[in-house]
Amino acid sequence: MKRKYFWLTGLAAILTVFLTFNHSVEAQLPLVPEFSGKSSVFNQSSNKVASGCVRIDGRCVIEITATPSDLSDRISEVEQRLNEILPYYLQNESAQVKVRQQTEEQLIDLYVVVEERETRLLTVTSEDATLKAMTIEQRAEQISRAVVEGLQMARRERKRSFFMVQLQKGAIAIFLLIAATIFLYYLERQSRKQKASLHAAVNNNSQAISTQISQNQRQQLAEIKHRGLQIARFGTWFSGILYLVGLFLGTRFLQVWMINVFRIPFRLFVVGLGVYFLSRFSFILIDKFTAMLANNYLLTPEANLRLQLRISTISSVAKSVVIISWTIVGILVGLSVVGVNIAPLLAGAGLIGVAISLASQNLIRDAINGFFIILEDQYAVGDVVGVGDATGVVEAINLRITQLRDTESRLITVPNSEIRTVTNYTSNWSQVDLKIPIAYHSDMEKAISIIEDISNSMMCDHEWQQNILEKPSLLGVDEFSAQGVIIRVWIKTKPLQQWPIAREYRRRLKIACDKAGIDLALPQQQIWFSSEDKTESQ
């Protein structure tokens, strides 16, 4: 931590020395430096013109308009005339500057007058006036004042007293920048700890789902706060550097360069940031809705696992839809801010939609079928289902596909449009269906008594009774088969518990039958020999 502060202090010192050095060099140069990327251009689609800045020493003095193809040339022409005027104005400390206006055919020409020297600057057009919602006369007067103030500022900037004031501003800015960085770093560290604790709480599946959803909301808010602090730290440094390099004449070209280079990336970054935060806030609203639904049913993991799975699935699908929707909006807005005219794209959206629908009919069927699967609660994540020839645990479900994991850990992906019949083994409750074969020569009454005792013992066993919903139903002798007498038992269980309960029941039954001398039936086959066939063979 101390090392980090040391480097920050060192960087501040380097910046101060660099700015001082640049001023000492610049003070010897009467001419303005060359500024790359000197105009900031943006389209005004309403009147099909563009506007940009005319700069003196990198400062935006006035804003003029032209067609997009001619704007750069007009700005360069005006700036060239100002660069010709500035050295003459700076050489004479007592020289006064003013702007003369001359009206010609409803347009106003502006002439910059320095002592006896007069230079034509530009013609104020109706587009220039419309840009600021003024008349041509008002706009001409505004531009005249701005040009005079810009030239006077250029003279003041080259004085040592002005530099000392700027140096003080820079020192204060550096101090505030370091203080803000330390403060944001402290907040970010606290936010990181909060995120870690909330993440551990959300992963605790033993809590009621309403509690889990509420904690998930807090986690989303903590994530937004953490990302916001990171962006604030980055923005503080970027804006601080931008401000510092703009304070001094020798480094202001860096400010202009940064503004022009990072304009489009910055706009796209803001759009992406907006999409991210809107998605996060949408997640919070979804979690709030699911939390209200969970509270209405007073859900706990023991009370209604089925509805918990459904809520989890609906929440997951809703968040996927939200991400896709905001991403599409973000792409359209991103294209718009970089200057792409999206009006034809939106106008042709209907035709594009028809073309896409024809080309992606299977995808649309997948989405529709997936929507009804979730709406009708046919199955949810965690259910054991059979779809066609595939059987397994539902690992993921969205509007397009369902993914199953079978007993051999193979991941099976089934498009929702291909799902016709679904066998759900774990919807709301499950049932053990035991068919117990008893040998024909065994005592049936004794066998039935043993089976009933095992059912009662499992109902009284603390380890198993919580998973058995009702007393086991002994149906009695169900059929006579080649294998033996079949006794049938039904045990109603919680979802997913039918298989472990059936295995435990069979284990106890085998031990009890062995002790009681009851034989479990084996497949039998009788072979008959005819005496006539035997005589003929002799």
- Look at residue 469 in the predicted model and tell me its pLDDT: 86
Residue 1's pLDDT band (boundaries 50, 70, 90)? very low
- Look at residue 197 in the predicted model and tell me its pLDDT: 76
Residue 471's pLDDT band (boundaries 50, 70, 90)? confident
Q: Residue 308 burial by CB count (10 A; 0-12/13-18/19+): exposed, middle or buried?
A: buried
Mean pLDDT, the chain, as a whole number? 80
- The string of pLDDT tens digits covering residues 357-387 is 676 778 888 888 888 887 788 888 888 999 9
The distance from CA 464 to its chain's CA centroid, rounded to whole angstroms, is 44
**Residue spans per domain, the chain:** 42-157, 362-424, 430-516
Q: Is the pLDDT of residue 505 over 60?
A: yes
Cα separation, 180 vs 188, whole angstroms: 12
| pTM, rounded to two decimals | 0.59
Which residues sit opposite 401 in a β-bridge? 415
Arch. (CATH architecture) of 430-516: 2-Layer Sandwich (3.30)
Fold of 362-424: SH3 type barrels. (2.30.30)
DSSP string, 26-85: HTT--SPPP-SS----EEETTTTEEEEEEEETTEEEEEEEE-TTTHHHHHHHHHHHHHHH
- Residue identified by tokens 């020395």 is 17
Residue 24's pLDDT band (boundaries 50, 70, 90)? very low
Listed range (32-46, 203-217, 311-325) with the worst mean pLDDT? 32-46
Residue 7's pLDDT band (boundaries 50, 70, 90)? very low
Cα separation, 162 vs 147, whole angstroms: 20
- Look at residue 414 in the predicted model and tell me its pLDDT: 92
Residue 183's pLDDT band (boundaries 50, 70, 90)? very high
**Mean pLDDT computed over 446-475:** 88
Q: Is the pLDDT of residue 195 over 70?
A: yes
**Mean pLDDT computed over 405-413:** 90
**Mean pLDDT computed over 418-447:** 87
Query: Residue ranges of the alpha helices (H) in 102-208?
Result: 126-131, 136-157, 160-202
Three-state SS across 505-526? HHHHHHHHHHHHCCCECCCCCC
- The string of pLDDT tens digits covering residues 148-171 is 999 989 888 888 898 899 999 999
